[in-house]
């Protein structure tokens, strides 16, 4: 058995990264400042988007985006239930109604044809999720949204570096990225709203800093105009320079990180081809570059003779960490008991919610670590036969 615990995710920092954070601390300017401005520029250049606004989290980005779109009571927002809870929570908190559509059973992405039957005259927004590092099939989703005049905001939390048909996720439309520690690049906590709509970005910029008519940091002023006044009530979601300097350094290594993730994912794939109880996600059929945010497998619970939670527990006993991305939102307590969602509504989402787990995958892992995971998986399966 493996001697030390292998976590399912671990951020990667160099001594130079630590030094760079120290330099910001010593500089005397630690909140939103020149590094945040540079980080926005560099992330915009990397994805190819017209403009980018850094914030404290992707959730904060979604909050200001929903506010900018005036989502409120009587409105419906379409999103998958197979995603992190943040979007659905914010829809509910805005007084609007989340409308969950089922996902593809093997890619976990929402599809345009299912979306189309969920659209009503109350639909004010569609939020597709790029799952696990692969892109959603944007072309038909974009044409559906454009045809019905419905805005689209892509949840790109898993998609830093992902490409769809030769274009980076973020290059077009509006996308929200996350820099939470488990994501492909991290700022501790952080997020970025990318958009090709300058007027929308201006509102995001304003709403993320008190609704003042200025940014948290003005390059010309080297600070913030003390005379600035509130244009509309806003929030306090600006990213600090302590975080932004890390983001700049992580971004410079993102392609290298994703290359390592891809190599490890291919090793998993090869090894699990001979393990029928373990079913990896399928690559989408359209042209793309996968960022391998997560290596997700579904446990064939009948063949394995145990449920997924037991399986995760058995892996942990063998010093292998794993994650669960995600428990279907509509089956969680509040959504069941208060909003009345029931099992049976979203068959593919539910099937996966009962079977998925994320195996360790991070740039600092070695091929030997992958071997340890595969060995542990096989041992757990053998122990029950
Ligand atoms: C991580 C994540 C988020 C939220 O990101 P934060 O930066 O933690 O707010 C949103 N959606 C998905 C799919 C995520 O995985």
Closest atom of ligand 1 to CA, residue 178: 7
User: What's the gap in Å between 88 CA and the centre of ligand 1?
Assistant: 12
Q: Whose CA is nearest to atom 5 of ligand 1?
A: 58
Query: What number of CA atoms fall less than 13 Å from residue 299's CA on the CB side?
Result: 25
State residue 218's pLDDT score.
74
Ligand 1 contact, 289 CB (< 6 A): no
Ligand 1 contact, 49 CB (< 6 A): no
Q: Please list the rounded mean pLDDT of every run of 10 residues in the chain (385 residues).
A: 96 97 96 96 98 98 98 98 98 98 98 96 98 98 98 98 98 98 98 98 96 76 78 96 98 98 98 97 98 98 97 98 98 98 98 98 98 98 84
Ligand 1 contact, 130 CB (< 6 A): no
State residue 51's pLDDT score.
97
Ligand 1 contact, 293 CB (< 6 A): no
Model confidence, pTM: 0.97
DSSP readout, 337-382?
A: HTT---TTS-HHHHHHHTTEEEE---TT--HHHHHHHHHHHHHHHH
Mind telling me the catalytic residues?
183
CATH number of 15-252: 3.40.640.10
User: What's the gap in Å between 91 CA and the centre of ligand 1?
Assistant: 15
Closest atom of ligand 1 to CA, residue 129: 13
State residue 222's pLDDT score.
72
User: What's the gap in Å between 274 CA and the centre of ligand 1?
Assistant: 33
User: What's the gap in Å between 81 CA and the centre of ligand 1?
Assistant: 13
State residue 226's pLDDT score.
75
State residue 248's pLDDT score.
98
State residue 220's pLDDT score.
66
Ligand 1 contact, 97 CB (< 6 A): no
E strand or H helix at 155: strand 154-155
Give the angle subtended at the CA of 115 by the CAs of 300 and 160, to the nearest 5°: 70
User: Which of 80, 83, 86 maximizes ligand 1 atoms within 8 Å of its Cβ, making it the mutation to test the pocket?
Assistant: 86
User: What's the gap in Å between 379 CA and the centre of ligand 1?
Assistant: 33
Residue 152 CB neighbours (<10 A): 19
Q: Whose CA is nearest to atom 2 of ligand 1?
A: 157
CATH number of 254-383: 3.90.1150.10
What are the boundaries of each domain within the chain? Answer: 15-252, 254-383
DSSP readout, 174-238?
A: EEEEE--TTSSS--SS-EEEEES-HHHHHHHHHHTBTTBSS-SSBTTTTB--TT--BSS---B-B
Ligand 1 contact, 158 CB (< 6 A): yes
CATH topology agreement for domains 15-252 and 254-383: no
Q: Is 302 exposed, middle or buried (0-12, 13-18, 19+ CB in 10 A)?
A: exposed
């Amino acid at each position: 058995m493996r001697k030390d615990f292998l976590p399912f995710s671990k951020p990667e920092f160099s001594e130079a990264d630590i030094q760079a954070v120290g330099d910001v601390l010593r500089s005397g300017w630690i909140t939103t400042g020149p590094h945040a401005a540079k980080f926005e520029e560099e992330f915009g250049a990397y994805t190819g988007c017209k403009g980018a606004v850094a914030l404290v989290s992707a959730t904060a980005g979604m909050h200001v985006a929903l506010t900018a779109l005036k989502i409120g009571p009587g409105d419906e927002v379409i999103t998958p239930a197979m995603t992190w809870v943040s979007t659905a929570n914010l829809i509910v908190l805005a007084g609007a109604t989340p409308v969950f559509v089922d996902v593809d059973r093997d890619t976990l992405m929402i599809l345009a044809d299912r979306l189309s039957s969920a659209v009503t005259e109350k639909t004010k927004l569609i939020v597709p999720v790029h799952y696990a590092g692969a892109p959603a099939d944007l072309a038909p989703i974009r044409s559906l949204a454009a045809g019905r005049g419905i805005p689209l905001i892509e949840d790109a939390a898993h998609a830093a570096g992902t490409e769809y048909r030769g274009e980076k996720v973020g290059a077009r439309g509006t996308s929200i990225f996350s820099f939470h520690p488990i994501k492909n690049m991290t700022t501790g906590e952080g997020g970025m709203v990318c958009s090709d709509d300058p007027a929308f970005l201006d509102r995001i910029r304003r709403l993320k800093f008190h609704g003042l008519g200025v940014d948290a940091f003005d390059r010309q002023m080297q600070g913030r105009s003390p005379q600035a006044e509130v244009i509309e009530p806003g929030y306090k979601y600006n990213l600090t320079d302590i975080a932004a300097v890390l983001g700049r350094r992580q971004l410079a290594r993102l392609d290298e990180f994703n290359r390592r993730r891809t190599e490890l994912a291919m090793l998993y794939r090869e090894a699990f081809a001979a393990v029928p109880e373990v079913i990896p996600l399928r690559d989408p059929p359209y042209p793309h570059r996968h960022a391998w945010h997560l290596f997700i497998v579904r446990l064939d619970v009948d063949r394995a003779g145990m449920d997924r939670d037991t399986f995760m527990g058995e892996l942990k006993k063998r010093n292998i960490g794993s994650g669960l991305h995600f428990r279907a939102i509509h089956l969680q307590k509040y959504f069941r008991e208060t909003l009345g969602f029931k099992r049976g509504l979203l068959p593919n989402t539910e099937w996966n919610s009962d079977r998925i787990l994320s195996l360790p995958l991070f740039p600092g892992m070695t091929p030997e670590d992958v071997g340890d995971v595969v060995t542990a998986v096989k041992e757990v399966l053998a122990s029950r036969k």
